Amino acid sequence: MSDKNFIILNDPGKPKMTHQLIIAGNWKMNLLRDGSRKLISDLQKGYTFGSAMKVILIPPATLLGSIADQIRNSPFFLGAQNCHEERFGAFTGEVSAEMLADLGCTYVVLGHSERRTLFGETNNQIRARASSALDFGLTAIICVGESIEQRQAGLAMDTVSKQLEECVGSEANSNNCIIAYEPIWAIGTGKTAELQDIEEMHRHIRNVLIAKSATGNDIPILYGGSVKAENASNIFAVPQVGGALVGGASLNSQDFLEIIKAGQRND
Ligand code: PGA
């Protein structure tokens, strides 16, 4: 087993704790029931990786119930793309963490850059949502990442530090929290961040998490932003990268299976 992907380091060379590589497929607002059934059935047929990897499917809310049934007794986990911070009430159009848990979800993505930029979600809201997710036993996949303007101005690290400071509570640990680093300019653009930049930012995130939480060393950090079959194994080999949050390529079973397989090659 390579120490690059699976071992979170206390300091270089000192294995602290092992993790499965996590591959999460964010379908965003795509697919209807027929397409979803077929995609999952193709993934189930092609999945030969046992428990070496943790694969999380993150479909739109309309498909969560039927997918929960379809993936019962399979190696896949179910996640939602967002939740509201309140448990119930007059919040038309919203879905609570408790409702997601009731459907069989065990993960929820929070603070995706599309939620932040298109729907105005704030760090405070994301933190409140993560806290509600925790209350109902969901693991929050908290997304952070800088814009191209912030990177060009040398503000990438500060931006991500602030997001982590304000979105991640001290209660975060490896059982209830995953961080996804997604530079906004790499999402859906085909432009992946340079491996060196990914490494630098993942190390930075690790340091912030260690300073923040007693178990900060164990919280998985995923990379997201134009992850594809062709670049996945290089990304998975970057120190501190604990997996990937995959958008576009998760909608095609062959591409998604290739990404999963790339994770296994480093095993
Ligand atoms: P992408 O999306 O893989 O299509 O770039 C990633 C994401 O938004 O999570």
| Closest to 104 (Cα-Cα) out of 57, 59, 69, 141 | 69
Q: Domain containing 139: what range?
A: 21-265
What secondary structure letter does DSSP report for 216?
A: T
Does residue 132 lie in a domain region? yes
In whole angstroms, give the CA distance from residue 62 to residue 49.
28
CATH of the domain at 103: 3.20.20.70
Query: Distance from first CA to last CA of the chain, Å, rounded?
Result: 5
| Closest to 25 (Cα-Cα) out of 184, 183, 247 | 247
Does residue 1 lie in a domain region? no
225 lines ligand 1 (CB under 6 A): yes
Stretch 122-151: mean pLDDT: 97
116's torsion region: left (phi>0), alpha (psi -120 to 50) or beta?
alpha
SS3 label, residue 128: helix
Whether the per-residue pLDDT at 4 is higher than 60: the answer is no
E strands, 67-186, are 76-80, 107-110, 139-144, 177-181
Is-contact 119 144, C-beta < 8 A?
A: no
Q: What is the pLDDT of residue 221?
A: 98
Does residue 5 lie in a domain region? no
Q: What is the pLDDT of residues 188-230, one digit of tens each?
A: 999 889 999 999 999 999 999 999 888 899 999 999 999 999 9
Q: What is the pLDDT of residue 96?
A: 98
Q: What is the pLDDT of residues 223-267, one digit of tens each?
A: 999 999 999 999 999 999 999 999 999 999 999 999 999 998 554
In whole angstroms, give the CA distance from residue 62 to residue 68.
11
Q: What is the pLDDT of residue 267?
A: 47
Stretch 122-149: mean pLDDT: 98
Q: What is the pLDDT of residues 33-58, one digit of tens each?
A: 999 999 999 999 999 988 889 999 99
Stretch 13-20: mean pLDDT: 48
CA of 93 to the centre of ligand 1 (A): 24
255 lines ligand 1 (CB under 6 A): no
What's the burial of 231, exposed, middle or buried (CB within 10 Å: 0-12/13-18/19+)?
middle
Stretch 129-150: mean pLDDT: 97
Does residue 126 lie in a domain region? yes
Does residue 192 lie in a domain region? yes
Q: What is the pLDDT of residue 52?
A: 82
Is-contact 198 226, C-beta < 8 A?
A: no
In whole angstroms, give the CA distance from residue 170 to residue 256.
33
| Residues 6 or more apart whose Cβ sits within 8 Å of residue 75 | 47, 49, 50, 51, 55
Does residue 9 lie in a domain region? no
- Count structural domains, the chain: 1
- % of the chain beyond a pLDDT of 90: 85
Does residue 15 lie in a domain region? no
Does residue 138 lie in a domain region? yes
Task: Produce one character per residue of 93-113: b if its CB has 16 or more CB atoms within 10 Å, e if not.
Answer: eebbbbbbbebebebbbbbbb
Among protein residues, the one with the nearest Cα to ligand 1's atom 9 is 247
Among protein residues, the one with the nearest Cα to ligand 1's atom 1 is 247
Question: In the predicted model, what is the mean pLDDT of the chain?
Answer: 92
187 lines ligand 1 (CB under 6 A): yes
What secondary structure letter does DSSP report for 35?
A: H
> Which two tokens mark 81?
């793309």
Residues annotated catalytic, as ranges:
112, 182
